[in-house]
Amino acid sequence: MDRLTATEGGPLIEIALITFLYAFLGGSIKYIDQAYDEKVFSIRSANVVAIMAGLIMGYLMARDSPFSTAFYSAMLLSLVLARKIDNRAFGLGTVLAVASLLAFYPSSEVQWTLWPIVAFLVAGFVDEIADSMVDRCRLQGILQAFLNYRPFSDIALFVMVMTGTFAWIYLVPYFAFTLSYMLVERFSERELSISESVDRIRQRVLRRAN
């Protein structure tokens, strides 16, 4: 099994493991979001997922440095700055991520690289603006799909890979995170659509019965 080296001389993490953990975190974040915002999933299950996700995120930040440290630090900072920690699960997950990082910190070689953190933050901010432009400007077609995908974080990572900041192999867990997030979003939208259709049918039956 090939191993993933965060930096020269840094900690070694199997690529299969880190990819699995990134996929879990990507799906978990969307799962929690849809449970609280759309009521597609149960709140109780979302809280359980948040506990697991928080512990895993802190573990990755400590053990897989500097990439996971930069990636998830930027994510947590953006959530705080944008005031998007707006439910119990996200709050619990954030606290546990920090606590888990602190727990593993003494036995880890954590490296805080400023410019990748800033790059992820700026790219995420641009993604938010671009996504909001779709509705505000009523964009359609290829441009709508492109901006809704939020591509600027991907572009930022590609630039960092091309400049040698991170190894190319980090594209694998990164896109596992993105794909898992999108799959859960697609699944939850389908479940919501089915639920709304059932509700409409139920209402019609009740109206006819009355």
Cβ count within 10 A of residue 194: 10
Q: DSSP string of 10-77? A: S-EEEHHHHHHHHHHHHHHHHHHHHHHHT--S-HHHHHHHHHHHHHHHHHHHHHSTTHHHHHHHHHHH
Predicted confidence (pLDDT) per residue in 78-120, tens digit? 888 878 888 999 999 999 999 999 999 999 999 999 999 999 9
Distance CA 21, CA 82 (A): 25
CB 27 within 8 A of CB 183: yes
Q: Which two tokens stand for residue 197?
A: 């259709």
**Torsional sign, CA 52, 194, 127, 33:** negative
pLDDT tens sequence across 137-156: 777 778 777 777 788 999 99
Closest CA relative to residue 119, chosen from 83, 62, 75, 168: 75
How many CA atoms within 13 Å lie on the side-chain side of 102? 6
Nearest CA to 70 out of 35, 28, 101, 34 is that of 101
Confidence of residue 210 (pLDDT cuts 50, 70, 90): low
Per-residue pLDDT band at 194 (split at 50, 70, 90): low
The pTM for the full model equals 0.83
Instruction: For residue range 27-70, list pLDDT tens digits in order.
Output: 999 999 999 988 889 999 999 999 999 999 999 999 999 999 99
